[in-house]
């Protein structure tokens, strides 16, 4: 007798306080506010470099009583020629601090229209202590991976404080808190017998979705596709990538096979977010390939995490999959998170004049198998 997937909504449980605090800090950074990052008695006030304005930079300097410094990833500092490193976080300081124009130029490769500021006299050194946590928080905010910080003693009373350890654990904690919150039958163009199941982390963050097609048997490896959301490809039919083809093709292939699951994961642009993906597109138009564009922005070539996918599969009662993918990294990631991958099922679509170079880069540099 075939066992059915468990797609019943679960009652939501209260979010752990660290999740709530990090979520509030993210919102504060996105609107240009100050956040206090602390650990073991040390503390820094930070602004997201992308959101810096004259008044917020002045507030940071006044509240801290010190001279603000800029934090960049090793990736970004490397492309600027400030270091030969390709990892870690670097502290960039000037004798008189920075103005907003200089911060924008250093943090954002798309801000060159502002002109080249005077960069003489910069000091560059690896950032220890709270620097990496501040940059990680900017990344979680889907902003550029750069921050402006200043050491502080007694912070303003109205500033949100967040622990460095909670920032480091945020993605893991959020993924493990995922719960099924709703499900409904949604007939699709190529899969009329389909249901969509929504999963939400307990801090109320962005939902991930599972498209369940047919009646998969969780006692057997389930044909599964992990699909990262792509607004431009999935919804608009962008020709710059193959995402739309992969999404619709996977739904059709799963339906033709009789059953399976497509996980629609909220990790646009290989985890950097839609706004940063559009910045990467601008850089690609200037001659950078899809991976180097991410590096120019200061990100790793792929910032995605797959613990949410593994957690969703477990909540559905699925322990083994036949994975529709050309990316061996997804196979390794699911296995690392306790999901058995019985088979990698190739998932290839024809290229076009706009995405041929993109696909070639994925094959030659990203290890994808076409």
How far is C-alpha 48 from the geometric centre of its chain's CA atoms? Answer: 16
With beta carbons less than 8 A apart as the criterion, state whether 154 and 64 touch. no
Q: Per DSSP, what are the bridge partners of residue 223? A: 322
Which positions ≥6 away from 223 have C-beta within 8 Å? 216, 253, 254, 257, 259, 260, 261, 321, 322, 324, 345
- H helix runs in the chain, sequence order: 17-30, 54-64, 74-79, 100-107, 131-140, 164-176, 243-257, 268-271, 274-285, 290-297, 307-316, 328-336, 356-364
The total of other beta-carbon atoms located within 10 Å of residue 125's CB is 12
What are phi and psi for residue 296, nearest 5 degrees?
-60, -35
- Write down the residue that tokens 């990833």 correspond to: 73
Matching residue, tokens 């093709």: 249
- Find, among 25, 46, 3, the residue nearest to 152 by Cα: 46
Q: Tell me the catalytic residues.
A: 302, 304
- Are 312 and 174 in contact by the 8 Å Cβ rule? The answer is no
DSSP at 242: S
C-alpha 340/C-alpha 347 separation (Å) is 19
Is the Cβ–Cβ distance between 344 and 328 less than 8 Å?
yes
């Amino acid at each position: 007798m075939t066992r059915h997937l468990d797609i019943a909504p679960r009652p939501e449980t209260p979010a752990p306080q660290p999740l709530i605090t990090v979520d509030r800090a993210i919102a504060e950074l996105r609107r240009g506010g100050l956040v206090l990052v602390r650990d073991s008695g040390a503390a820094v006030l930070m602004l997201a470099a992308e959101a810096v304005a004259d008044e917020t930079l002045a507030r940071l300097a006044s509240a801290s009583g010190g001279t603000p410094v800029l934090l960049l990833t090793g990736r970004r500092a490397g492309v600027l020629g400030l270091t030969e490193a390709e990892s870690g976080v670097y502290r960039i300081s000037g004798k008189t601090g920075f103005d907003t124009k200089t911060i924008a130029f250093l943090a954002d490769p798309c801000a060159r229209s502002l002109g080249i500021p005077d960069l003489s006299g910069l000091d560059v050194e690896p950032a220890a202590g709270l620097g990496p946590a501040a940059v990680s928080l900017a990344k979680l905010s889907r902003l550029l991976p750069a921050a402006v910080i200043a050491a502080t003693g007694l912070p303003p009373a109205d500033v949100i404080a967040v622990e460095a350890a909670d920032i480091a654990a945020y993605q893991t904690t959020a993924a493990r808190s995922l719960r099924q919150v709703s499900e409904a039958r949604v007939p699709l163009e190529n899969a009329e017998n389909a249901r969509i199941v929504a999963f939400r982390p307990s801090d109320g963050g962005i939902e991930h979705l599972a498209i369940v097609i047919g009646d998969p048997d969780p006692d057997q490896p389930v044909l599964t596709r992990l699909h990262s959301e792509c607004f431009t490809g999935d919804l608009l039919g962008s020709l710059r990538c193959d995402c739309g083809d992969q999404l619709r093709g996977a739904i059709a292939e799963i339906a033709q096979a009789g059953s399976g699951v497509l996980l629609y994961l909220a990790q646009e642009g290989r985890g950097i977010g839609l706004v940063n993906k559009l910045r990467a597109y601008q850089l690609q138009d200037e001659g950078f390939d899809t991976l180097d564009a991410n590096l120019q922005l200061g990100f790793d070539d792929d910032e995605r995490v797959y613990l949410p996918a593994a957690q969703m599969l477990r909540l559905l009662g699925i322990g083994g999959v036949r994975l529709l993918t050309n990316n061996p990294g997804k196979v390794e990631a699911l296995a690392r998170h306790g999901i058995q991958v019985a088979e990698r099922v190739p998932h290839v679509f024809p290229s076009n004049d706009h995405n041929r170079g993109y696909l070639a880069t994925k094959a030659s540099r990203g290890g994808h198998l076409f």
